[in-house]
Amino acid sequence: MGEEQKEKDLRKEARELFKIFFGKSKDIQKATTQTVKEITEKTLKGVQPSKEKVKEITEGIVEGIQETRKQMGGRLESVVKTLQDLTSKATSGLMEVVSGVIEGIEEVSEREKREECLRYIKERRSITFFDPNRDVPDEIIKEILNISALAPSGYNLQPWEVIVVKSKDKKEKLKEICYGQQKVEDASANIVVIANLNAAEEHVDRVLESWVELGYIKEEEREALWEQILSGWKSPEKRKRKAIRDSALFAMCVMIVARYFGLETHPMEGFDEAKLKRFLGIGKDRIVPMIIAIGYRHPEKELLPRAYRFTFEEFGKIV
């Protein structure tokens, strides 16, 4: 086997090793470091490789990254550039590559995480046209809702509940309740967000038990805090405000997290709540702040530019 073939194999091995390690750890830094370590210990048998071989290894890792980009939502462009910059420099050996990779990846990963978060917030639009032929799997919807349940709420009482209307016949009925809005039927599903007015009484014990177990409070503090929490829900007006406020925070998370999964959403307030409650068996001690249509955007419909938004100077002030 010629030297050129050996270097090609080294490049291929680096690529395949990266994919294996990335699949196990889902951590770009660990996968890159493990790849270099594995090749150094096994393939090169402890011998310091030439700069050309170092270049082959890093190029192989870059190829591995490029093949796994979709799993990271395209969040690896800066990592690829970091590795490519390293291969273009006169590196002295693998340790220099490893050190540079770790430092570069730590820096770009943090920056890209922030940029990715902002991108999903900015990309969120209230889409009125969904693709009726594409279905969102139940497991994806559940994952979106589980992640969204990390939303903040007063005393962590989490007063939200959801009913996901997904079957064709139920979507048709829901469309009538929503005054004939076509997006209700075209969307893959409709998430009915429910504010539980009895969340304080129903959830407080589990919340406080968790706080004691985690060390947030001491056991002897539980009773006083229990009374304090429930006293804040005595007023019907406060009870209603707290439940709706926190459920709305949860709903906003749903719409942003949906973008991570490549989905579109539309929050709706246009529905007959009395009919909706009868249709889904929602009790009188619950309020429905909104319904969120969720699905894939119709590929043939044009999305118009975002409508005018007020600037800080128009809606706020610093005092």
pLDDT of 20: 77
Helix (DSSP H) and strand (DSSP E) numbers for the chain: 13, 4
| Angle, helix 236-260 to helix 94-123, in steps of 10 degrees | 130
The conformation of residue 167, written as its DSSP 8-state character, comes to: S
Is the CB of residue 244 less than 8 Å from the CB of residue 250?
no
How much of the chain is in helix, strand and coil states, percent to nearest 5?
60, 10, 30
pLDDT in tens, 263-309: 999 999 999 999 999 999 999 999 999 999 999 999 999 999 999 99
Domain-by-domain residue ranges, the chain? 3-122, 138-315
Taking every pair of Cα atoms in the chain, the longest distance, rounded to a whole number of angstroms, is: 83
pLDDT in tens, 168-214: 999 999 999 999 999 999 999 999 999 999 999 999 999 999 999 99
Contacts of 186 (CB under 8 A, 6+ apart): 129, 130, 131, 132, 295, 298
| pTM for the model | 0.70
CATH 3.40.109.10 fits 138-315, yes or no: yes
Q: Would the pLDDT of 7 be above 70?
A: no
**Cα–Cα distance list, 35 to 43, 62, 78, 93, 134 (Å):** 11, 11, 19, 15, 38
Pairing of strands 160-165, 286-295: unpaired
Is the CB of residue 183 less than 8 Å from the CB of residue 155?
no
pLDDT in tens, 92-134: 555 555 565 556 556 656 676 778 888 899 999 999 999 999 9
Q: 295: closest CA among 133, 73, 177, 161?
A: 133
pLDDT in tens, 69-90: 666 555 566 666 666 665 665 4
- What's at 72, amino acid-wise? M
